[in-house]
Amino acid sequence: MRQRLLLTLLLLPILCTCVLAQSSVEEFKLGGTARILNDECIRLTPDVPFASGSAWYEKAIDLNEPFEITVCLVLGENDEAGADGIGFIFHPTMRTGYRGEGMGFAGLFPSLGIEFDTYQNYHLGDPPEDHVAININGRTHHAASITGPTPVSNLEDGKKHLLWINWDPIEKQLTVMLDGEERAKLKANIVAELFGGNSTVFWGVTAATGRKTNYQDICIKKLVFAEAKVQPAVDFGGK
């Protein structure tokens, strides 16, 4: 009994600093072609050429605390004629990188990006299949990927694909699960090794099209994280 009580007391500081939000599309800052569809979903790109959209959560989070992102991705219905995919970005400022094949992540330093890529760019080392990868510091070639690319079945089927991203700061482990299967895992002290000891970052999601197109949506299911106690100035820029 005493052990259970001690465990509960130890967990309380973590639980009390976390914020739980559901269907919180109004709490995102939208850029480019991004538009709110309903109380859960944001359309990042319409099915038109050379579109790009971004949605950034309005408050910075603290990576010294756990976070959990549960969303659904919809990557359109064009398979062979579809592009480019969706990326999740973690960066000290609310700033979107190069779009198109850069997935809104290219050129951002320091940064961590999780990509759900639906188009094969040969010069970036993409596999022919849709794929998942984790990249850092704005480097999009898969020779620099720290996890992946991991091929997945076709994502451009018009269906919702359940995505779960979890960060455990104690185990120093980032886990990415798509449609109930683990697709990427990173075990690293990302605060110290990637962000130079700075645990305060913004997170956002971006999507783009090129000559090939797709509508691309994100639907918020559950967000659990700790907002940073000191919020940095917002730089809602882009490239």
In a domain, 182, yes or no: yes
Residue 14 domain-assigned (yes or no): no
Q: Whole-angstrom Cα distance, residue 205 to residue 169? A: 21
Which range marks the domain in which residue 69 is found? 19-225
**Residue 168 and residue 158: Cα distance in Å, rounded?**
32
Q: Is residue 87 part of a domain?
A: yes
Query: How much of the chain, in percent, has pLDDT values that exceed 70?
Result: 87
Instruction: Classify residue 116: in a domain, yes or no.
Output: yes
- Rounded CA-CA distance 43/79 in Å is 18
Nearest to 24 by CA among 14, 36, 16: 36
> How high is the pLDDT of residue 123?
85
170 lies in some domain? yes
Confidence of residue 16 (pLDDT cuts 50, 70, 90): very low
Whether 236 is in a domain gets the answer no
Q: What CATH number did the domain enclosing 107 receive?
A: 2.60.120.200
Q: How many domains does the chain have?
A: 1
DSSP letter, residue 181 = E
Residue-wise pLDDT tens digits, 157-181: 999 999 999 999 999 999 999 999 9
